[in-house]
Chain A
Amino acid sequence: AQKITQTQPGMFVQEKEAVTLDCTYDTSDQSYGLFWYKQPSSGEMIFLIYQGSYDEQNATEGRYSLNFQKARKSANLVISASQLGDSAMYFCAMSPLSNAGKSTFGDGTTLTVKP
């Protein structure tokens, strides 16, 4: 069984500052993928970034980076230079590579960017 824990129900950040959203996971799978998705108030889930369990380097996509610490089973999302449009709910998820796509999600973190 897989489990994702996001301990921050809500976060605030000042515009142009960096913010870290926490995610820890638990799995018995040896090979897995970790994902972050963004859900704006419009409701549609948007894929942000992916990290494979065997990837040695942390993933980066523009202003998003994933701080992957395998031994600690953490996969924190770092958003640099926050923008007002980053205000949304963020979900951490994982799926075993043997069943790619069958993802387990955390409860989400609501991020509010203050002007």
Chain B
Amino acid sequence: DVKVTQSSRYLVKRTGEKVFLECVQDMDHENMFWYRQDPGLGLRLIYFSYDVKMKEKGDIPEGYSVSREKKERFSLILESASTNQTSMYLCASSRTRPDTGELFFGEGSRLTVL
């Protein structure tokens, strides 16, 4: 069964800590994405990557960075966590066209910053 796996379902961190969220996909997809989900705001794109070592900013990149050293792995980094980064983080992957761009999601990582 094809999968997108996120390393942690639940994390609790303190303000100022460095936080790593890891995502691995086994579908050989070119594209990987990090979204943030907050009640009433839907999903907002943080960063995405179309290839190894490539990254592009999404709609809300401030306070985040990403790393893609291998095709299957896409990491989201919070350099100095703040309380307003408490959220659900969703990783997704997709295949490049001619596919439709359907997203395959991980189970999500719920981060609480105290």
Contacts and interface: CB of A to CB of B under 8 A. Distances in A.
B99 interface: yes
Contacts of A4: 42
A44 B107 contact: yes
B43 A100 contact: no
A105 B43 contact: yes
Interface stretch (B66-74, B77-85, B90-98): B90-98
Contacts of B101: 33, 35, 95, 97, 99-103
Given A44-B108, A45-B90, A91-B43, A102 B33 contact: yes
B105 A101 contact: no
Interface residues of B, number: 29
Contact of B105 (A33, A44, A50, A108): A44
* A: interface residue count bin: 20 to 34
Given A43-B88, A44-B105, A45-B90, A100 B42 contact: no
B42 A103 contact: no
Contacts of A100: 31, 94, 96-97, 99-101
A105 B44 CA distance: 7
Interface string A82-97: 0000000001010101
Interface string A14-58: 000000000000000000010101000011111100101000000
Nearest to A9: B40
27 contacts: A35-B100, A35-B103, A37-B103, A43-B107, A43-B108, A44-B106, A44-B108, A45-B103, A45-B105, A47-B103, A47-B104, A52-B100, A93-B103, A100-B31, A100-B100, A101-B33, A101-B92, A101-B94, A101-B95, A101-B102, A102-B45, A102-B58, A103-B103, A105-B43, A107-B40, A107-B41, A108-B42
Interface of B: 31, 33, 35, 40-45, 48, 58, 88, 90, 92-97, 99-108
Interface of A: 4, 9, 33, 35, 37, 42-47, 50, 52, 91, 93, 95, 97, 99-108
Report the 10 A-B pairs with minimum CB-CB distance, sorted nearest first. A100-B101, A101-B94, A45-B105, A105-B43, A101-B101, A107-B42, A105-B42, A101-B31, A43-B108, A50-B100
